[in-house]
């Protein structure tokens, strides 16, 4: 049974989500752009084709990257500003302003994505349960969240810039609007509490530096000159070494999901069979 939601509280939540300034590409542009592309890649590696519902679509950047792989795409976000920008930038995609738990489509979707949504909401399991109503009979839901146990956060704890891996920074609270921290076990628990079977988990990008640090590293490193430590000596022009480094961090992260910057779970409703 899907629990009902209070209309007044939902209106308050819409206004709250509008108040947070974070959007993809606005902060730490180089790294966030790369991370977004790898998140999309992880979705495409796990998706079920035909239809996509992208919940918390933001300004539509990632929705647009995924759109060519589906016949029907809908993006939903609580922010009036983000939805207006998405509609302006990508007029061929259907974008709707709504809280994720309020949106309803009678046709159902083969793939539902939640890219960094669950850490923002009041009750993640209740949200997952509510959004399950939009799954097609053999549909899957893929949820990505920042990983509190990521290797860079554990390093930050040791060096003293974080008191605890699960600590929410002022940026997390006031710019990004986070309400909680996740690791893989907590993410899986929320799926189970919502009545989902987790069929796969994974990680996106093995990141040893904080986001400001790696963004500086990507933008200012001598990647074009190459040479020792930045590429292969004598083969400076053989490839884009900056891209090769990032691709390697993504591929290596597949082997170390629990250490990655972002983690994800793929779920299906219990008693449903995916062929």
Please write the tens of the pLDDT for every residue from 101-127. Answer: 999 999 999 999 999 999 988 889 999
In sequence order, what are the residues at sequence separation of 6 or more whose Cβ sits closer than 8 angstroms to the Cβ of residue 267?
A: 128, 140, 141, 142, 143, 191, 196, 197, 198, 199
Which of the four pLDDT bands, split at 50, 70 and 90, describes residue 20?
Answer: very low
Q: Any idea which of 12-16, 53-57, 98-102, 250-254 has the lowest mean pLDDT?
A: 12-16
Give the domain extent around 156: 7-269
* Residue 95, in any domain of the structure: yes
275 in a structural domain: no
What is the SS3 assignment for 65?
helix
pLDDT attached to residue 14:
46
- Per-residue confidence (pLDDT) for residue 234, from 0 to 100: 87
Residue 197 lies in a domain: yes
Percent of the chain with pLDDT over 70: 84
Let me know if residue 274 belongs to a domain.
no
223 inside domain: yes
| Alpha helices for 53-203 (secondary structure H) | 61-66, 80-89, 124-131, 151-159, 170, 184-193
Q: Which residue has tokens 């084709």? A: 49
Rounded Cα–Cα distance for residues 84 and 72 (Å): 20
- Residues 59-116: pLDDT tens digits? 999 999 999 999 999 999 999 999 999 999 999 999 999 999 999 999 999 999 999 9
Whether 114 contacts 144, CB under 8 Å: yes
Residue 68 C-alpha from the chain's centroid: 19
Element at 211 (helix H, strand E): helix 211-220
As a whole number of angstroms, the distance between CA 273 and CA 275 comes to 6
Asked if the structure places residue 246 within a domain, the reply is: yes
In this structure, is residue 142 part of a structural domain?
yes
CB atoms < 10 A from the CB of 81, how many?
Answer: 17
Give me Rg for the CA atoms of the chain. Answer: 19
Nearest to 151, CA basis, from 265, 262, 34 = 262
Say which CATH number the domain at 54 has: 3.40.50.150
Number of domains in the chain: 1
Mean pLDDT of 29-39: 91
Cα–Cα distance measured from residue 258 to residue 126, given in angstroms and rounded to the nearest whole number: 25
Is 238 within the bounds of a domain?
yes
Q: Which of 135, 75, 142 is nearest to 110 (CA)?
A: 135
pLDDT band for position 180 (cuts 50, 70, 90): confident
Average pLDDT for 133-144:
96
Return mean pLDDT, the chain: 87
pLDDT band for position 194 (cuts 50, 70, 90): very high
State the Cα–Cα distance between residues 88 and 107, nearest whole angstrom: 26
| Tens digit of each residue's pLDDT (9 = 90 or more) over 203-248 | 999 999 999 999 999 999 999 887 788 988 888 888 999 999 999 9
Average pLDDT over residues 120-145: 94
């Amino acid at each position: 049974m899907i629990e009902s939601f209070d209309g007044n509280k939902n209106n308050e939540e819409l206004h709250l989500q509008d108040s947070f300034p974070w959007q993809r590409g606005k902060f730490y542009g180089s790294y966030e752009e790369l991370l977004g592309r790898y998140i999309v890649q992880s979705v495409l590696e796990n998706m079920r084709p035909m239809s996509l519902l992208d919940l918390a679509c933001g300004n539509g950047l990632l929705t647009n990257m995924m759109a060519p792989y589906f016949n029907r795409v809908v993006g939903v976000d609580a922010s009036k500003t983000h939805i207006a920008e998405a509609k302006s930038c990508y007029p061929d995609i259907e974008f709707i302003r709504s809280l994720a738990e309020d949106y309803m489509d009678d046709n159902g979707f083969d793939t539902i994505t939640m890219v960094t949504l669950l850490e923002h909401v009041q009750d993640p399991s209740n949200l997952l349960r509510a959004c399950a109503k939009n799954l097609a009979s053999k549909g899957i839901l893929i949820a990505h969240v920042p990983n509190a146990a990521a290797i860079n956060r554990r390093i930050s704890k040791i060096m003293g810039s974080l008191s605890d891996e699960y600590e929410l920074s002022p940026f997390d609270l006031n710019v990004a609007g986070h309400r909680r921290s996740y690791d893989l076990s907590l993410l899986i628990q929320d799926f189970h509490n919502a009545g989902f079977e987790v069929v796969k988990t994974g990680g996106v990008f093995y990141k040893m530096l904080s986001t400001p640090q790696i963004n500086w590293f990507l933008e200012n490193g001598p990647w074009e000159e190459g040479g020792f430590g930045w590429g292969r000596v004598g083969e400076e022009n053989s490839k884009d070494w900056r891209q090769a480094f990032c691709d390697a961090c993504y591929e290596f992260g597949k082997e170390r999901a629990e250490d990655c910057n972002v983690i994800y779970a793929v779920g299906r409703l219990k008693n449903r069979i995916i062929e």
